[in-house]
Amino acid sequence: MTDLLADAIGADPVASAPSVTSLGGVPVVTGLERADLFAAIRAGEIGSVHSWELVTAVDGPGTRMTTFVAGCPLRCLYCHNPDTMSGARGLPVRADDLLARIRRYRGVFRATGGGITLSGGEILQQPAFAGRILRGAKELGIHTAIDTSGFLGAAASDELLADVDLVLLDLKAGDEATYGRVTGRRLAPTLDFGRRLERLGIETWVRFVLVPGLTDDPANIARVADHAASMSQVTRVEILPFHQMGRDKWASLGMDYRLADTQPPTAESVEAARAAFRSRGLTVY
């Protein structure tokens, strides 16, 4: 866990952006010594946050306040937010200040059936911070969701998950070899996390990105569909067609983008993927 915390802090988020005092109206912590910052992140009092936004019809039901934390252990080839991969690109925000912003939107959440979604990066790389935000939101009567690859599912305590109403589980491939090519990591921890969510009875939406030449092999799609169908708590599957909206971010960061020549999938291939999931009795969007 120490390594995760160190990456969440990054090189020195306070020193890297001394002129930034607010993140969309949420105060940014300044003036802390690195040791004090590390201790506050360990306690969950402060998180390394990249950004937040209000969205509708994505990231869960209703209007959501989606918070993107910085830092992720995966290196997905198609990542459209590569600027959230490193914890060094986040800014330190107090959990109490973020909850104060969340509190302002309670009326919107009630009216739309929405709530908050904690995303990334990888939210489970900062489990103590996530736990504080989730607990505070539940005390406010707000619906909660986390968007996660599940790779760090073991970092989420049962106490943390008890405050989660919905998990958006990014199932990036159906076999270890393909998963390794896509993410640089192993598939097994994600599947273990999915089975744990089933035991805990936590509603789950599976997300799968269809990338031509990478994840669109029918055998891979069938395996992803089998995994999703094997988990009784999965109530929805979202097939997300690959797009090039993140290409400029990779270039601006000086990062090697290996999918620059990859085209979006055809409408026919997207529908074929959806049909594979529907054939297993899953509700597909």
CATH number of the CATH domain containing 168: 3.20.20.70
| Residue 271, domain member (yes or no) | no
Token couple for 1: 């866990």
pLDDT the model gives residue 116: 98
pLDDT the model gives residue 20: 83
List the one residue out of 64, 65, 93, 66 whose CA is nearest residue 81. 66
DSSP β-ladder status, 26-27 and 63-69: unpaired
pLDDT the model gives residue 9: 47
Token couple for 233: 């708590």
pLDDT the model gives residue 277: 98
| Residue 220, domain member (yes or no) | no
Point out which residues pair with 115 in neighbouring strands: 64, 143
| Residue 216, domain member (yes or no) | no
pLDDT the model gives residue 213: 97
What are the backbone angles phi and psi of residue 255, rounded to the nearest 5°? Answer: -100, 145
For the question of whether the overall pTM of this predicted structure is more than 0.85, the answer is: yes
* C-alpha span between 245 and 249 (Å, rounded): 8
| Residue 40, domain member (yes or no) | yes
The pLDDT tens digits along the chain (285 residues) read 344 444 544 444 443 455 789 999 999 999 899 899 889 999 999 999 999 999 998 899 999 999 999 999 999 999 999 999 999 899 999 999 999 999 999 999 999 999 999 999 999 999 999 999 999 999 999 999 999 999 999 999 999 999 999 999 999 999 999 999 999 999 999 999 999 999 999 999 999 999 999 999 999 999 999 999 999 999 999 999 999 988 999 999 999 999 999 999 999 999 999 999 999 999 999
Range of the domain at 127: 2-206
| Residue 283, domain member (yes or no) | no
Token couple for 5: 């915390």
| Residue 163, domain member (yes or no) | yes
Q: Give the total number of structural domains in the chain.
A: 1
| Residue 30, domain member (yes or no) | yes
